[in-house]
Amino acid sequence: MEIEEIRKKAYAIIEDYNKKNNITHNKDTVFPHLVEEIGELARELGHERSNWRAEFNKEKFAEELIDVLMQIMNLATDYNINIEETFNKKIQKLRERYQLK
Protein backbone atom coordinates (compact mmCIF):
# COMPACT_ATOMS: atom_id res chain seq x y z
CA MET A 1 0.00 0.00 0.00
CA GLU A 2 1.30 3.44 -0.90
CA ILE A 3 1.70 6.15 1.71
CA GLU A 4 -0.92 8.33 0.03
CA GLU A 5 -3.41 5.49 0.15
CA ILE A 6 -2.70 5.00 3.87
CA ARG A 7 -3.21 8.73 4.46
CA LYS A 8 -6.54 8.73 2.63
CA LYS A 9 -7.80 5.66 4.50
CA ALA A 10 -6.79 7.11 7.86
CA TYR A 11 -8.59 10.36 7.10
CA ALA A 12 -11.66 8.61 5.69
CA ILE A 13 -12.21 6.51 8.82
CA ILE A 14 -12.08 9.57 11.07
CA GLU A 15 -14.49 11.39 8.75
CA ASP A 16 -16.89 8.43 8.78
CA TYR A 17 -16.70 8.26 12.58
CA ASN A 18 -17.38 11.98 12.86
CA LYS A 19 -20.41 11.82 10.58
CA LYS A 20 -21.84 8.82 12.42
CA ASN A 21 -21.42 10.55 15.80
CA ASN A 22 -22.27 14.07 14.59
CA ILE A 23 -18.97 15.54 15.77
CA THR A 24 -16.41 17.79 14.13
CA HIS A 25 -12.82 16.90 13.45
CA ASN A 26 -10.34 19.75 13.21
CA LYS A 27 -6.66 20.52 13.64
CA ASP A 28 -7.15 21.31 17.31
CA THR A 29 -8.57 17.87 18.11
CA VAL A 30 -6.03 15.73 16.27
CA PHE A 31 -2.87 16.67 18.17
CA PRO A 32 -4.25 15.92 21.65
CA HIS A 33 -5.51 12.61 20.32
CA LEU A 34 -2.04 11.90 18.89
CA VAL A 35 -0.51 12.57 22.31
CA GLU A 36 -3.05 10.21 23.88
CA GLU A 37 -2.16 7.49 21.38
CA ILE A 38 1.56 8.00 22.02
CA GLY A 39 0.83 7.53 25.73
CA GLU A 40 -0.91 4.23 24.98
CA LEU A 41 2.06 3.15 22.87
CA ALA A 42 4.41 4.09 25.71
CA ARG A 43 2.34 2.00 28.11
CA GLU A 44 2.73 -1.02 25.84
CA LEU A 45 6.49 -0.44 25.67
CA GLY A 46 6.51 -0.29 29.45
CA HIS A 47 4.91 -3.73 29.58
CA GLU A 48 7.75 -5.07 27.46
CA ARG A 49 10.38 -3.64 29.78
CA SER A 50 8.92 -4.41 33.17
CA ASN A 51 6.19 -7.05 33.10
CA TRP A 52 5.00 -5.16 36.19
CA ARG A 53 1.27 -4.95 35.42
CA ALA A 54 0.85 -6.90 32.23
CA GLU A 55 2.94 -8.91 29.84
CA PHE A 56 4.02 -7.42 26.54
CA ASN A 57 1.50 -8.10 23.80
CA LYS A 58 3.01 -7.56 20.36
CA GLU A 59 -0.41 -7.39 18.69
CA LYS A 60 -1.58 -4.67 21.10
CA PHE A 61 1.71 -2.81 20.59
CA ALA A 62 1.28 -2.98 16.80
CA GLU A 63 -2.30 -1.72 17.09
CA GLU A 64 -1.18 1.26 19.20
CA LEU A 65 1.62 1.97 16.72
CA ILE A 66 -0.93 2.13 13.91
CA ASP A 67 -3.17 4.41 16.00
CA VAL A 68 -0.22 6.82 16.21
CA LEU A 69 0.41 6.54 12.47
CA MET A 70 -3.26 7.23 11.72
CA GLN A 71 -3.22 10.41 13.79
CA ILE A 72 -0.01 11.54 12.07
CA MET A 73 -1.67 10.93 8.72
CA ASN A 74 -4.68 12.97 9.84
CA LEU A 75 -2.40 15.85 10.82
CA ALA A 76 -0.73 15.64 7.42
CA THR A 77 -4.13 15.89 5.77
CA ASP A 78 -5.22 18.80 7.94
CA TYR A 79 -2.04 20.71 7.11
CA ASN A 80 -1.96 19.62 3.45
CA ILE A 81 1.44 17.94 3.78
CA ASN A 82 2.57 15.49 1.14
CA ILE A 83 3.99 12.75 3.36
CA GLU A 84 5.97 10.94 0.68
CA GLU A 85 7.57 14.08 -0.72
CA THR A 86 8.38 15.47 2.72
CA PHE A 87 9.74 12.11 3.90
CA ASN A 88 12.05 11.84 0.88
CA LYS A 89 13.31 15.40 1.39
CA LYS A 90 14.05 14.65 5.04
CA ILE A 91 15.91 11.43 4.16
CA GLN A 92 18.04 13.34 1.64
CA LYS A 93 18.73 16.07 4.18
CA LEU A 94 19.85 13.50 6.76
CA ARG A 95 22.06 11.74 4.20
CA GLU A 96 23.76 15.03 3.40
CA ARG A 97 24.07 16.09 7.04
CA TYR A 98 25.63 12.81 8.15
CA GLN A 99 27.50 12.19 4.88
CA LEU A 100 25.72 8.93 4.14
CA LYS A 101 25.34 7.25 0.76
Burial of 6 by CB count in 10 Å (0-12 exposed, 13-18 middle, 19+ buried)?
middle
> Tens of pLDDT along 6-52?
999 999 999 999 999 999 888 889 999 999 999 999 998 888 877 66
Domain boundaries, the chain: 3-97
Single out the residue of 85, 65, 75, 71 nearest to residue 2, CA to CA: 85
Total-model pTM = 0.88
What fold is seen in the domain 3-97?
Helix Hairpins (1.10.287)
- Residue 1: band (very low, low, confident or very high) from pLDDT cuts 50, 70, 90: confident
